[in-house]
């Protein structure tokens, strides 16, 4: 019987390594190194060409394992599987991120009895990634060289260069490290270091890390301090990762058997520092032990391939919770063709304008049918804002942009704190003006956005999704509900069936009918969204005393137009002259309500 061939591919930011191994004894058939492939930096065409290049020189696999940098979500895994399926048709595959392949490689040579295993990776960058016996994973670090990557080659070298310059200023001596840097960079003195560091890339700087270790070994005390401080920060994260996994397993730290596996070029080349490393990592518990990853982590991709079978293709869902999206029981009206605009491309311009305006005029009556639910949401939002809570809008595309717009208008209109009403946009700031591919399909990112803002029971989270089913929005709503926040859905799909326990506290599923341009929910759906959000924040702040009659008595007069409006409001409510109003506002630093009170006005409750 012919041996099964498992092909493991690890795609990283520096290079891709592919290993073909045969049989249960993992006999090496062929190894290949080729260019880098981070999922965030390649499009589908480039990735398919990358995989095809590997296919053309490697044996035909029975199963495929792929670990790739940049993989974060189930949608990312599905994207890779689709592309791999076109290149290796019919071959079962398992896809995950490259930290999983490192962990799988560590497990190949490790004991099956450990309660927690943590890979501590230090190369050009750094991070810690572990798994407990129950299969729960945790990650710390990996924030990149500008924000984190403590204990990485870059961090060590950059810290050493800063220490070198400080020492030069203080003593005029470069110690043991200085001459090594000059020789490596072919510099005659230290002055050109300024220009070099400005043009140096991350890997250029990290390449100096071995010199730091060398200088420390030769007695340079400053460099020894740099190494210990930098690695110490990384080991703090490693101990924290282990502690998190032990806690999730429900066992005590001292009773847990914890294995730290050191991976990456920094650890591989510096054996003399292992006693220091062991001392740092002992903080994880009395049964903690340390070893170096002996095999390259691409073997972990082979281990992933071994888990694939012809009957089951494994697309791992991130361990951040289950997203229960509602079921659409019928096609959304916004996706149907509008019979009035069937000849839109041939319609006279005046008739087309009248058509669009008449369609838009139908929006307010449609929203009005949900006035009772909208009033309940206003009441909920006002209570939250009045008791120290916050109002969040969450959306993608037009829905997200309208949420951000309404949130940004609250501080100037009502002098509210910027954090009181916030917009959360799928894809972040870039998506406000450009499409971000896949952002709306990333449920895990929606969860993370809510978790990062530490949403809690005092807050209200409003998901805005024309289709009613946007994964980013439902990830956010699910996380908000788990944290005890009130939730609401604004949608234009009236045919939604919610899973048990997943229905938001408030649902406005407005039927605005088919769009003039089929499926373009920036039209009537967008108008309805703006109308609902306008009503929500305006009336919530009215209930909070930001309005007298129909005047904005708490606006923020940040420009000439608004200052003129503030003067007119003060005149209207107090009977003061314009001069008196302006002088009082100036004295009260243009706080309108304070100026009104200084002139004897009291708000009628």
Asked whether 445 and 583 are in contact (CB, 8 A), the reply is no
Backbone angles phi, psi at 318, to 5 degrees: -55, 145
Asked whether 283 and 67 are in contact (CB, 8 A), the reply is no
Asked whether 394 and 461 are in contact (CB, 8 A), the reply is yes
Crossing angle of helices 177-185 and 153-171, in 10° steps, is 110
Angle at 356 between CA 352 and CA 358, to 5 degrees: 115
Q: How much is the CA Rg of the chain, to the nearest whole Å?
A: 30
Q: How far apart are CA 141 and CA 502, in angstroms?
A: 33
Tell me the two tokens of residue 21: 């191994």
β-pair partners for 315: 95
Q: How far apart are CA 144 and CA 244, in angstroms?
A: 22
Chain centre to alpha carbon of residue 366? 36
Task: From the candidates 440, 572, 583, 586, give the one annotated as an active-site residue.
Answer: 440
Q: Catalytic: 409?
A: yes
Residues 6+ apart with CB under 8 A from 139: 99, 127, 128, 129, 130, 241
Q: How far apart are CA 354 and CA 351, in angstroms?
A: 5
Asked whether 464 and 400 are in contact (CB, 8 A), the reply is yes
Tell me the two tokens of residue 541: 């702040």
Asked whether 114 and 251 are in contact (CB, 8 A), the reply is no
**Within 13 Å, how many C-alpha atoms sit on residue 198's CB side?**
5
Asked whether 32 and 9 are in contact (CB, 8 A), the reply is no
Q: How far apart are CA 489 and CA 474, in angstroms?
A: 9
Q: How far apart are CA 388 and CA 416, in angstroms?
A: 12
Task: From the candidates 373, 409, 580, 588, give the one annotated as an active-site residue.
Answer: 409
Chain centre to alpha carbon of residue 272? 38
Q: Which of 116, 59, 126 is nearest to 91 (CA)?
A: 59
β-pair partners for 462: 393, 488
| DSSP assignments along 75-142, one per residue | HHHHHHHHHHHHHSTT--EEEEEHHHHHHHHHHHSS-TT-SEEEEEEESSSEEEEEEETTS-EEEEE-
- 416 Rama class: left (phi>0) / alpha (psi -120 to 50) / beta: beta
Residues 6+ apart with CB under 8 A from 22: 3, 4, 5, 6, 29
Q: Which of 405, 407, 392 is nearest to 463 (CA)?
A: 392
**Which residues belong to the active site?**
409, 440
């Amino acid at each position: 019987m012919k041996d099964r061939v498992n092909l493991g591919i690890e795609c990283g930011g520096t290079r891709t390594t592919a290993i073909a191994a045969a049989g249960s004894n993992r006999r090496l058939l062929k190894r290949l190194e080729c260019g880098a492939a981070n999922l965030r930096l390649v499009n589908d065409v480039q990735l398919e060409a990358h995989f095809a290049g590997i296919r053309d020189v490697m044996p035909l696999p029975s199963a495929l394992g792929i670990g790739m940098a940049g993989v974060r979500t189930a949608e990312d895994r599905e994207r890779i599987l689709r592309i791999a399926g076109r290149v290796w048709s019919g071959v079962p595959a398992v896809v995950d991120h490259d930290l999983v392949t490192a962990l799988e490689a560590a497990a190949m040579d490790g004991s099956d009895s450990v309660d927690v295993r943590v890979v501590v990776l230090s190369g050009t960058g750094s991070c810690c990634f572990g798994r407990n016996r129950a299969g729960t994973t945790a990650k710390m670090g990996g924030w990149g060289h500008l924000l984190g990557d403590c204990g990485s080659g870059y961090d060590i070298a950059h810290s050493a260069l800063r220490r070198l310059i400080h020492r030069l200023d203080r003593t005029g001596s470069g110690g043991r490290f200085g001459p090594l840097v000059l020789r490596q960079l072919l510099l005659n003195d230290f002055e050109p270091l300024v220009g070099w560091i400005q043009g140096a890339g991350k890997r250029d700087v990290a390449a100096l890390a071995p010199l730091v270790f060398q200088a420390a070994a030769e007695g340079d005390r400053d460099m020894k301090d740099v190494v210990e401080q930098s690695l110490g920060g990384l080991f703090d994260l490693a101990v924290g990762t282990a502690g998190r996994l032990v806690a999730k397993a429900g066992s005590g730290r001292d009773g847990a058997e914890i294995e730290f596996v050191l991976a990456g070029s920094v650890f591989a080349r510096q054996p003399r520092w292992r006693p220091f490393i062991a001392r740092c990592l002992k903080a994880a518990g009395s049964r903690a032990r340390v070893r170096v990853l002996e095999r390259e982590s691409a073997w972990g991709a082979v281990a992933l391939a071994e888990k694939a079978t012809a009957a089951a293709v494994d697309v791992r869902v991130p361990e951040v919770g289950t997203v229960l999206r509602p079921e659409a029981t019928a096609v959304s009206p916004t996706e149907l063709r509008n019979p009035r605009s069937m000849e839109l491309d041939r319609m006279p311009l005046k008739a087309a304008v009248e058509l669009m305006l008449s369609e838009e005029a139908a929006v307010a009556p449609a929203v009005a049918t949900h006035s009772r639910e909208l009033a309940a949401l206003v009441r909920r939002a006002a209570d939250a804002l009045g008791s120290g809570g916050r109002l969040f809008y969450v959306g993608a595309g037009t829905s997200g942009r309208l949420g951000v717009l309404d949130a940004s208008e609250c501080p100037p209109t009502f002098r509210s704190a910027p954090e009181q009403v916030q917009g959360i946009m799928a894809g972040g700031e870039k998506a406000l003006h450009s499409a971000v591919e896949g952002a709306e399909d990333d449920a895990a990112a929606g969860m993370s956005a809510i978790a990062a803002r530490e949403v809690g029971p005092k807050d209200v989270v409003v998901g805005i999704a024309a289709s009613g089913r946007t994964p980013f929005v439902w990830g956010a709503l699910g996380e908000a509900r788990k944290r005890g926040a009130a939730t609401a859905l604004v949608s234009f799909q009236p045919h939604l069936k919610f899973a048990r326990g997943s229905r938001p506290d408030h649902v406005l599923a407005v039927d605005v009918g088919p769009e003039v341009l089929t499926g373009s929910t920036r039209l009537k759906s967008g108008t309805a969204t703006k109308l609902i959000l306008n009503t929500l924040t305006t009336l919530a702040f009215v209930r909070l005393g930001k309005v007298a009659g129909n005047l904005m008595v708490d606006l923020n007069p940040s420009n000439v137009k608004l200052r003129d409006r503030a003067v007119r409001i003060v005149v209207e409510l107090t009977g003061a002259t314009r001069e008196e109003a302006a002088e009082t506002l100036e004295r009260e630093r243009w706080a309108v309500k304070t100026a009104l009170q200084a002139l004897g006005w009291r708000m009628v409750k």
